[in-house]
Structure 1
Amino acid sequence: MSISEVTVAVVVVTYNSEELLPDLLTALGPGLAGLSWHLTVADNASADGTVATLRRLAPEATVVEMGRNAGYAAGINAAVAAAPPHTAILVLNPDVRLKPGCVETLTAVVGTSGTGIAVPHIVDGAGALIPTQRREPTILRALGDAVLGARKAGRYAILGEVVTDERRYAHETVTDWAEGSTVLISRECWQRCGPWDESFFLYSEETDFALRARDAGFVTRFVPDARAVHLEGDSRHSPKLWALLTLNRVRLYRRRHGLATTAVYWLVLLGREVSRALLGRQTSKAAVRDLLRPAKIREVPGPATVHSAG
């Protein structure tokens, strides 16, 4: 498909994101230069002026007011459903700033060599690399993370889920999945593998989608020439968010493995969080409390328990 035939549905989920919108919207034009695109935003019942600011700064955008904090996956699904006709879907966090030409570079690889999902090279606000490539969760990788820490374990494919070797970010490559702040999905991949699983509410929904896409024959491709900045959220500092992230890792693993191996995976994660809780980390203390409550792992989180992305 030529660039002239591409129409991108830019999909953003907001939750109290008013302060992030001006810079997000300013970067969309250069980031999507050369492409036909439209913006659809699903707002998860923001209590600030997110919707009013959006309507003022981007009156041409389609706005879906969810009426409740429905979660990240639900917002994405609602926005895709409401978007005008398109050939590709760009899932974008409100705290992402696209660099010029980012999306055109991604569209050049989507649909080629089995690529259903394309992701860019992402740095943080200070310009440091964010390691976004991920390997499929395994017991050994969870153990490597628990013993060595994510950064050291990630240097070795067998031991780390997060790909931390910076040399792996210099060249185009296939990855099992990638963090979900900036993801371009082909229409064919979405039609065969979508929607995103709303039961995760927040965290692991992008993992689940990418692994299901891989099962269906679509790969996730990292494209280093496409660039973006992610200001990042606060899951590492919020006890509720860290506990949810940890619980959803167990829930995702259970969906793809038997009960016995899931029990081992759960035990490894529990050991990791206990070891860090003993060092005084409040995030790990919250994760331990929830991991020891089986009902929490089975529970579908909702707005009463955690805030969604944005």
Structure 2
Amino acid sequence: MTILVAVVTYNSERLLADLIDGLKVGLSGLKWHLTVADNDSRDGSVETVRRLAPEATVVEMGRNAGYAAGINAAVAASPAHDAVLVLNPDVRLTPGCVARLQEALKEPGTGIAVPNIVDGAGDLIYTMRREPTVLRTLGDAFLGARRAGRFPLVGEVVADERRYAVEQFTDWAEGSTMLVSAECWQRCGPWDESFFLYSEETDFALRSRDAGLRTRYVPDAHATHLEGDSRVSPGLWALLTLNKVRLFKRRHGRVRAGAYWAALLLRESSRALLGKAPSRAATRDLLSPSRLRETPGPASVVR
């Protein structure tokens, strides 16, 4: 069985040496191939990959095409494979991680396998998610994500630490580390490039679940995610919030999406009043018809 490791880089040079070393550890004993899609990095990302992993395939996108486009390009440019490991450049795999995910893909009804993930300090990251709903967004608004997440009806984030000790299906999971079976990719891929960044993994996992290929959380497969800055960057948080509305509208239609938009606006505006800059940016964009209509792109992030 050959595993394609698909990584998207964007000014990621400082992360690549540790990433590549981690691949050798996390995929030890397995047959694998690394393909890196570079979104027009201005640092030495491309040169670093070619120097440290000369056997890897490098796809130079020529522009910042977004995360989903990078993943799709990496898959399209790669040799034959039996599974796709979608991996952020700031993820570090532990020994045996991918072999355990590979085993989990063999379980009936499984199309995606995801590991237990901790942050750089070793603290558990709540990566499992329930499908977005209006009620869950309101629960987040009034109780906060972690408190609401203890209760399935009103929480999107699965925030009960005891659940992370048990192998189980989840509606979707944060997309930094995902092993996708070739069957799942063939039936449900490619990823939707219209999202540019954020919600693309939600969309793919929910479409896979709709097709009968669910996301399986595997507690004894382990990885570390050093984490990005979506929670501190106003531009990224606003984009994340807008993409939630776009995805909900595609799955549920305009009327129900209106209620979902209102719940998100309540959540973000209440936090904006507390002085949170990311929520101020999200509130501004939620109230902008042009921002809700436009296709996301680099300008949606750097503003």
Q: TM-score range by the shorter chain?
A: over 0.9
2:103 aligned with 1:108, yes or no?
yes
Select 2:121's aligned residue among 114, 121, 126.
126
Select 2:200's aligned residue among 201, 205, 219.
205
Per the alignment, residue 267 of structure 1 pairs with 262
Measure the CA separation in 1 of the matches of 2:97 and 2:122.
16
CA deviation profile, 1:237-257 (whole Å, cap 9, x unmatched) = 000000000000000000111
- Structure 1 residue runs of 5 or longer lacking an equivalent are 1-5
Per the alignment, residue 245 of structure 1 pairs with 240
2:216 aligned with 1:195, yes or no?
no
Select 1:286's aligned residue among 274, 278, 281.
281
2:222 aligned with 1:222, yes or no?
no
Measure the CA separation in 2 of the matches of 1:118 and 1:94.
18
Select 1:53's aligned residue among 45, 48, 53.
48
Contact 1:111 1:186 in 2 (8 A): no
> What secondary structure, in the 3-state scheme, does the structure 2 residue paired with 1:221 have?
strand
Select 2:2's aligned residue among 1, 4, 7.
7
Measure the CA separation in 2 of the matches of 1:45 and 1:288.
30
What is the Cα-based RMSD across aligned positions, in Å? 0.7
Measure the CA separation in 1 of the matches of 2:19 and 2:191.
23
Select 2:20's aligned residue among 18, 25, 30.
25
Deviation at 1:233, TM superposition (A): 0.2
Amino acid at match of 1:294: P
TM-score (norm 1): 0.96
Per the alignment, residue 173 of structure 1 pairs with 168
Deviation at 1:300, TM superposition (A): 1.0
Amino acid at match of 1:151: R
CA deviation profile, 1:146-190 (whole Å, cap 9, x unmatched) = 000000000000010000000000010000000000000000000
Measure the CA separation in 1 of the matches of 2:151 and 2:266.
21
Deviation at 1:99, TM superposition (A): 0.4
Identity of aligned residues (%): 72
Amino acid at match of 1:202: L
The structure 1 segments of at least 4 consecutive aligned residues displaced by more than 4 Å after TM superposition are none
Q: How many residues align?
A: 302
- Structure 2 residue runs of 5 or longer lacking an equivalent are none
Deviation at 1:258, TM superposition (A): 2.4
Amino acid at match of 2:277: Q
Amino acid at match of 2:132: P
Measure the CA separation in 1 of the matches of 2:20 and 2:61.
21
Measure the CA separation in 2 of the matches of 1:18 and 1:129.
26
Contact 2:239 2:300 in 1 (8 A): no
Per the alignment, residue 3 of structure 1 pairs with none
TM-score (norm 2): 0.99
Measure the CA separation in 2 of the matches of 1:144 and 1:40.
40
Per the alignment, residue 81 of structure 1 pairs with 76
Amino acid at match of 1:259: R
Select 1:137's aligned residue among 132, 135, 143.
132
> What secondary structure, in the 3-state scheme, does the structure 2 residue paired with 1:214 have?
helix
Deviation at 1:137, TM superposition (A): 0.2
